[in-house]
Amino acid sequence: MSRSPDMPTGTLEILYEDNHLLCVVKPPGMLSQGDRTGDVSLLDAAKAYIKKKYQKPGNVYLGLVHRLDRPVGGVVVFARTSKAARRLSAAFRGREVEKHYLAAVSGRPDPEAGELLDFLKKSGTKTIVTTQDDPDGKEARLRYRTLETVDEKSLVSIELLTGRRHQIRVQLAQIGSPVIGDVKYGGKRITPGGVVALYAHRLVIPHPVSGDPVELSSLPPDVFPWSLFHSK
């Protein structure tokens, strides 16, 4: 995995902002929040943006209510108040959030569309498929649809119905269609910088105060092999 780029706050891509929310795009290869590597994270960049824009002294509060894996890019939501963080966290837990991804995978998924149900558990740095009666197993569910296949690579649209660690990557690999670039789960590394061809391109959340739906979307950057396909 490549190290995160140093992201100047002026280059942070803002999708939506008000007194309660800050919704941004996470570049693939960047941490959602800091870890022991010390690499700059999206949370760091977002806090720096708020601090500079509003000239806030001291520490800036931002609640990270969900995460994307480091190799994965796309839409991320931060809460600007603790009340908003509690309400958004409850919405994610209660499956009140629509989560849509695009993935470029090897081969052609069989069947071309469907719903996947597995039970997953952590195993070291990986997530593995287990059985329903495993006490450590957690239900993982998604819907997928193959949009196009070119040169034994397919573009797949995914609706994530649960939110397990590495879930999409594991479940697509389980049906023989690993995400391109995802060497951890059997994919071939043909993407630059160690990123994987998986992108959180659309998120619909209930606003933490009004309850109205907030729709957020972003298209994948050029580091992915999307040029293989005629549509995104």
Which pairs count as long-range contacts for 41-44, CB under 8 Å and 24+ apart, including other chains? 41/4, 42/7, 42/76, 43/78
Q: CA-CA distance, 51 to 43, in Å (whole number)?
A: 12
Token digits of residue 200 = 């959180």
69 part of the active site: yes
When computed from its CA atoms, the radius of gyration of the chain, rounded to whole angstroms, is: 18
d(CA 62, CA 69): 19
Sequence-ordered list of residues with C-beta below 8 angstroms from that of 111, at least 6 positions apart, any chain: none
Angle at 163 between CA 149 and CA 101, to 5 degrees: 30
- Annotated catalytic residue, options 69, 110, 151, 222: 69
* Burial group, residue 152, by CB count within 10 angstroms (0-12, 13-18, 19+): exposed
- Give Cα 141 distance to the centre of its chain: 15
Q: Which residues lie below 8 Å from residue 92, measured CB to CB, with a gap of 6+?
A: 65, 66, 163
Catalytic residues: 69
